[in-house]
Amino acid sequence: MKLHRIIFGLLYTAMLFSMIWPGHAYFSKIEPWVLGLPFSIFWVVLWIALLFLGLCILYFGDCREENDAEAASELEGS
């Protein structure tokens, strides 16, 4: 299994447990305010942004692997 897939799996698992009970119970506070948002909303937005970055890493990692495989097969074929 590729490293970027393992990292994404760990990130997704961390997000899953931090967004549901009991993980979210520790962060379901109104105070402090972060970027004008109550902390509980900021916590949800933070994990959505981290998941987006993880998906980008996974996508571009897979694209790079496909391009490397195509280049290798072209070199072998010629």
Mean pLDDT over 7-19 rounds to 86
pLDDT tens, 31-60? Answer: 888 899 888 888 889 989 988 998 898 888
Residue 78 pLDDT exceeds 70: no
**Domain range for 68:** 3-77
Count of domains for the chain: 1
Burial grade of 43 (CB within 10 A; 0-12, 13-18, 19 or more): buried
Instruction: List, in order, residues 6 or more apart from 58 with CB less than 8 Å away.
Output: 4, 5, 8
- The residue that leads in pLDDT, 42 or 22, is 42
29: helix, strand or coil: coil
DSSP annotation of 20: S
